[in-house]
Structure 1
């Protein structure tokens, strides 16, 4: 970790490691992942039955319809408290928030240039890292203790095949006001809100708070192609772009994170990927409908889709080491190893991964910035 400059009182900004090379502007096309030549997909594509094609097409159509509604109302920018309230008043509040989002225009009106977006070259790199002073971390740690205790108890009831969602909690602003206040104060003091606002071209706010615990019993990142019995994971395993509406996220390290503790990793510069809106929606739809999985059933359905629809944001597991995109990712991947109290702000549409814990335990708070 290379310290660059002093930010606000006691906060330090961090540069990528010297060996990390920001990627060139990537132009996304479905051909970047060669499914027709991939050992795990090739035969499935060739022998997809009519019934499987129809089934996969229906699944895709339904998920795309749902996705278009979510994008129209900017679902990710609606706080959890509003989304989760099922009362009549709550549903009216949700409808009002959705309507305001619809008429507010594009959620990301513009991206500023690297020269305009200060503090960490966010527009150029897609990632901005800050460390906080010890006294601020102590306040945040105390405010988060109850939520982490609750999450740890829930994780303890796992059946040994723990999936991603079992590792993440969902805090409520109404019930965890102290935690939200502590996070907002920290992000404001660290300049995170200023950087996010400059990047988005509008005022950025804290939308959601998700405490997360990962350890060696998590299996979501290593259980890929279960029927193929892979001896080694591909170098780009678990690399993905989020199926989201263009929000940013800030990950706060609540424990020290080294090379083997599942450091958050980001392909520096991949936020500048050029991708058509339709292709982006196709990727998001398949990431949300189960067709992006690597188990045999998911692959059979994915392979049965028309070629144009065979796209996913979680494509890292499908890249071979010798692929051009795989090599590009390898050169630009920054594994953010840092101490507790570090904050990683990033564009969720850039290529990233995290939580691949090989030793010890990692605790973080993931914040959605909208």
Structure 2
């Protein structure tokens, strides 16, 4: 890390880190007593149970392939081959991942502070100086302009999450942005710390400019059919349905308490969860059964109890639950000036920006 251009912001001292002895189990989210699910569980027909199980099974099979080849570790521009050469690159990357043909990286001493905080908390905040920020801001403006146009074409209050962000393809018009982000990730020590944390040489995989404002509704109305249902304190908290990569979020505007600060439950990267339970939760996040709309809830409730698990569990967690208490005590709501970089383990418990005032511009990057 170049200490002249980058500085680490530590987590607040009054936070109680996640209890590492708490082991994940399906019982941590009690669907049998939840008002949005208990009736559906009791009333599920045999036919609906069969349909739900089939939907789950059809999503699990491709997920197993993705995990075998560590799909999220393959750069986005390689995942969608357009030529025979591209397809060979995809097969090569998948094969290397499946066989674990990656050299372990020694940690540069300059990156040690970033790694130490990331390893301890699951999340680390690095602040870049004004000069670094201005360079990134200049290069990223064209990508945010495209996203602004796309958002303007959608109705306010009716946008889903994917309509708030875009993907930058390095093959088309993203080389300058990728180059600048790679430079910042290297100079800040983030890439070296990520390599040590992942146990392999890490690289920039995906780049997603994102804009959120108070008109976004994807996090607000979670049970649209239940009159009077209030937003739980743990709303939108989740673990990513991925193969265990890292993300780095670049704040491109100042982010205060009302501007949708990213939140992370400190130490939740150490949550003990079996590989089977993790796969079950990921499958339901991929197949749509983790949604809280009425149809998805009916099908989810029709699954066997062992399969009623989600990575996106926060919307279903009642405020008096043990896991909800762990989240409340351990959450770090990361406010900060533009130029802040939030590096985190996506398997820790976290949630993105829930903007209630103003707007938030960020660039979310995947490191794998």
Structure 1: gaps (5+ residues): 1-5
Secondary structure of 2:281's counterpart equals: helix
Select 1:170's aligned residue among 144, 153, 167.
Answer: 167
**Residues 13-35 of structure 1, C-alpha deviation per residue, up to 9 Å, x if partnerless?**
01112322111113100000000
Shift, 1:231, TM fit = 5.0
1:292-307 correspondence to structure 2 within 5 Å: 292-307=290-305
1:356-367 correspondence to structure 2 within 5 Å: 356-367=354-365
Secondary structure of 2:89's counterpart equals: helix
The 1-side partners of 2:82 and 2:222 are apart by: 36
Aligned partner of 1:94 in structure 2 is: 90
The 1-side partners of 2:190 and 2:247 are apart by: 10
Select between 75-84 and 323-332 the one with higher mean Cα deviation: 75-84
Aligned partner of 1:35 in structure 2 is: 31
1:1-370 correspondence to structure 2 within 5 Å: 8-25=3-20, 26-104=22-100, 118-119=113-114, 120-160=116-156, 161-174=158-171, 175-230=173-228, 232-370=230-368
Shift, 1:327, TM fit = 0.7
Shift, 1:322, TM fit = 0.7
Shift, 1:294, TM fit = 0.6
Shift, 1:108, TM fit = 11
Structure 1 pair 163–99 and aligned structure 2 pair: CA distance change class (3 A): same
Structure 2: gaps (5+ residues): none
Shift, 1:74, TM fit = 1.1
RMSD: 1.9
Query: Number of residue pairs matched?
Result: 360
**Residues 269-316 of structure 1, C-alpha deviation per residue, up to 9 Å, x if partnerless?**
000000000000000000010000111100000000000000000000
CA contact (8 A) 1:7 1:13 kept: no
Shift, 1:91, TM fit = 2.4
CA contact (8 A) 1:257 1:339 kept: yes
Shift, 1:50, TM fit = 0.9
Secondary structure of 1:128's counterpart equals: strand
**Residues 215-264 of structure 1, C-alpha deviation per residue, up to 9 Å, x if partnerless?**
11211111201101345310000000000001000000000001011100
The 1-side partners of 2:246 and 2:124 are apart by: 11
The 2-side partners of 1:204 and 1:254 are apart by: 23
The 2-side partners of 1:109 and 1:246 are apart by: 17
CA contact (8 A) 1:108 1:246 kept: no
Shift, 1:197, TM fit = 1.7
Structure 1 pair 193–49 and aligned structure 2 pair: CA distance change class (3 A): same
Structure 1 pair 230–78 and aligned structure 2 pair: CA distance change class (3 A): farther
The 2-side partners of 1:156 and 1:124 are apart by: 41
Shift, 1:212, TM fit = 0.6
The 2-side partners of 1:301 and 1:109 are apart by: 43
Secondary structure of 1:35's counterpart equals: coil
Secondary structure of 1:365's counterpart equals: strand
Secondary structure of 1:368's counterpart equals: strand
**Residues 32-63 of structure 1, C-alpha deviation per residue, up to 9 Å, x if partnerless?**
00001111100100010111101100110010
The 1-side partners of 2:305 and 2:17 are apart by: 30
